Amino acid sequence: MRRPRFRTHVGLAGSLLVALLAVFVVTPGSASAKPAAGPHSKLETDLAGNDSRSTTGEPEIAINPRNPNNLFADWTTFAYPPGTSAPPQTYACGGLSSMNDGLSWQPAPVTLGSCADAVAAFGPDGTLYAGGIAVGGLTNVPCGTPASITFGGGCILVQATDTLLRSTNSGRTWSAPVKTMGAASLGPFPFAPGSGNPAQTFDRPWVDVDQSTGTVYASGANIADHERFITASTNRGQSFGTIYAVDSPTYPSGGLPSGTIAAANGVVAVAYTAAQAPGAKCPCVIFETSTDHGATFTRHIVPVHNAAATERPFVTADAGAKGHYALAILDSTGTKNQVYVTDNSGTTWHGPTQVAEAPANQRFKPWLSFGTSGQLTLVWRTLYGNGTYDVWAAVGREEGQREVFSAPLRVSSAAAPYPPLSKQGEGDDFSFITAGRQYVHVGWGDSRNGPTQFWYARIPLSSFGGS
């Protein structure tokens, strides 16, 4: 029998421009956000409230285990059109707090001077951890310079760090920022000797907290080749230990999209796409676990079937059942979500369970997580032939060794036009979903009103028939 669980897994590898454009952003100026809906109805609203000068997206929604009615949401903000100079920024990672399970929200801005790829998670004692990429500077360099990237017809070197702040009052006040990893020039950072290639390691951070131990895990990727690294804090985020690569020479990521992390029951799990692995046809999906904060990993090749060849895997851990994890990728056609489940830390897998609504349109920007009562929640977006998209979600339950999902439920009430990158801006790399005791909470970037905005929906668990 599963214990109630309170884990918020933050959450997909961002484009390289995420870190670059952060220095130009402006935070939307909404004083508060109170959706006009009753406490038991479906609720959908634009939480960021940004105007035509900025875009917002890739939100994180965290649930406080000490007070499950307390939610915290943050997001990433960019100037619009991309690359333009916006008015002076205030709080680029946003920040809103709710004390009534998402019915209304109050400002709780993350106090970083510059911020991209926002992250948020609560610890078991109610401590909130939030932050993102703090950009220290950009330098024009000759193309070919190690760790440089192409931008605007030339090449630049980005100086940035993954940075976290702590709050014991859901974002009303914050601690001083703590760097978890980043560019060598802004360190020093304790990368393990011989472990990976830690060059400009700050792209697409993730943060997760083990609710059984309170250990805070932080992960970031090398901006040059997407190799992912991980580190841990055992003192409530006041400092972080040795930084380790999550791949190895035998199971290298090889510049392929890096995956996500999940912590529970004294174990941290990582899923990523490897360029090669013993006895496997690759690119292939690797699932690995560590009980020593990433110093060593036990690795398994996930036996996927008719899956996308180089798709990024999403992983989540069930805090109520040790060794129980779920992983989601897209199928080879891109029209179905595939969900794989293991009950023995990756030794064997069940699935895939195919999840999608009819007809077979393109799916993109998924996310999955176990809810506080062990229910598995999945969100994705569906792109239609006319260039618009909707947001959909489903809730799973176990039947024997199978994960069975409810019929997909449409989350967004209006289809949004999917703009080209040159017009939509940055900061919308993934959707987000988590579940509390009564509601499923969904966040996504929505362009129904023009530049992308962070929209939020709260849906009763009872709405997902059969879940």
Q: Which of 1-15, 366-380, 396-410 is predicted most confidently?
A: 366-380
Q: What integer pLDDT is reported at residue 12 of this predicted model?
A: 37
H-run or E-run covering 17: helix 17-21
Q: Is 40 among the domain residues? A: yes
Average pLDDT for residues 83-101, to the nearest whole number?
77
Instruction: Write the burial class of residue 146 (CB in 10 Å: 0-12 exposed, 13-18 middle, 19+ buried).
Output: exposed
Give the tokens for residue 53: 């000068």
Q: What integer pLDDT is reported at residue 15 of this predicted model?
A: 43
Question: 53 or 38: which carries more pLDDT confidence?
Answer: 53
Q: What integer pLDDT is reported at residue 366 of this predicted model?
A: 95
Q: Is 166 among the domain residues? A: yes
Confidence of residue 21 (pLDDT cuts 50, 70, 90): very low
pLDDT in tens, 207-222: 999 999 999 999 999 9
Mean pLDDT of the chain: 87
Q: What integer pLDDT is reported at residue 85 of this predicted model?
A: 62
Q: Is 5 among the domain residues? A: no
- CATH number, domain of 193, equals 2.120.10.10
Check whether the bond before 81 is cis (ω within 30° of 0): yes
Is residue 35 scored above 80 in pLDDT?
no
Is residue 466 scored above 90 in pLDDT?
no
Q: How many domains are contained in the chain?
A: 1
Q: How far apart are CA 211 and CA 4, in angstroms?
A: 11
Q: How far apart are CA 76 and CA 55, in angstroms?
A: 8
Is residue 41 scored above 90 in pLDDT?
no
Average pLDDT for residues 339-368, to the nearest whole number?
96
Confidence of residue 429 (pLDDT cuts 50, 70, 90): confident
pLDDT in tens, 98-107: 999 999 999 9
Q: Which of 22-31, 89-98, 193-202 is predicted most confidently?
A: 193-202
Q: Are 352 and 337 in contact (CB under 8 A)?
A: no
Confidence of residue 32 (pLDDT cuts 50, 70, 90): very low
Is residue 369 scored above 90 in pLDDT?
yes
Is residue 251 scored above 80 in pLDDT?
yes
Domain region containing 52: 17-463
Question: 90 or 16: which carries more pLDDT confidence?
Answer: 90
Q: What integer pLDDT is reported at residue 450 of this predicted model?
A: 85
Q: Which of 394-398, 406-410, 415-419 is predicted most confidently?
A: 406-410
Give the tokens for residue 454: 């962070």
Check whether the bond before 352 is cis (ω within 30° of 0): yes
pLDDT in tens, 136-183: 888 888 998 877 777 767 888 888 999 999 999 999 999 999 999 999
For residue 88, give the nearest of 40, 141, 26 by alpha carbon: 26
424 phi/psi in degrees, rounded to 5: -90, -15
- Extract the runs of DSSP E, i.e. beta strands, from 193-293: 201-209, 216-222, 228-233, 244-245, 261-264, 267-274, 284-290
* Residue 341 φ/ψ region, left for φ over 0, alpha for ψ in the -120 to 50 degree band, beta for the rest: beta
Q: What integer pLDDT is reported at residue 261 of this predicted model?
A: 98
Is residue 250 scored above 80 in pLDDT?
yes
Is residue 255 scored above 70 in pLDDT?
yes
Report DSSP state, residue 298.
Answer: E
Q: How far apart are CA 51 and CA 283, in angstroms?
A: 41
Q: How far apart are CA 207 and CA 221, in angstroms?
A: 12
CA atoms within 13 A on the CB side of 321: 20
Q: Is 290 among the domain residues? A: yes
Average pLDDT for residues 413-436, to the nearest whole number?
79
Is residue 423 scored above 90 in pLDDT?
no
C-alpha R_g of the chain: 20
Is residue 7 scored above 80 in pLDDT?
no
Q: Is 10 among the domain residues? A: no
Q: Give me the DSSP letters along 149-170.
A: EEETTEEEEEEEEEEEEEESST
Which of helix, strand or coil describes residue 24?
helix
Contacts of 123 (CB under 8 A, 6+ apart): 65, 129, 209, 211, 214, 216, 236, 237
Q: Is 3 among the domain residues? A: no
Of the listed ranges 176-180, 322-326, 346-350, 447-451, the least confidently predicted one is 447-451
pTM to 2 decimals?
A: 0.91
Is residue 9 scored above 60 in pLDDT?
no
Q: Is 4 among the domain residues? A: no
Could you tell me how many residues make up the chain? Answer: 467
Strand pairing of 71-79 and 96-98? antiparallel
Q: Is 387 among the domain residues? A: yes
Is residue 11 scored above 70 in pLDDT?
no
Give the tokens for residue 338: 């595939």
Q: What integer pLDDT is reported at residue 16 of this predicted model?
A: 41
Report DSSP state, residue 20.
Answer: H
Give the tokens for residue 30: 């909404």
Which of helix, strand or coil describes residue 257?
coil
Q: How far apart are CA 242 and CA 234, in angstroms?
A: 12
Report DSSP state, residue 19.
Answer: H
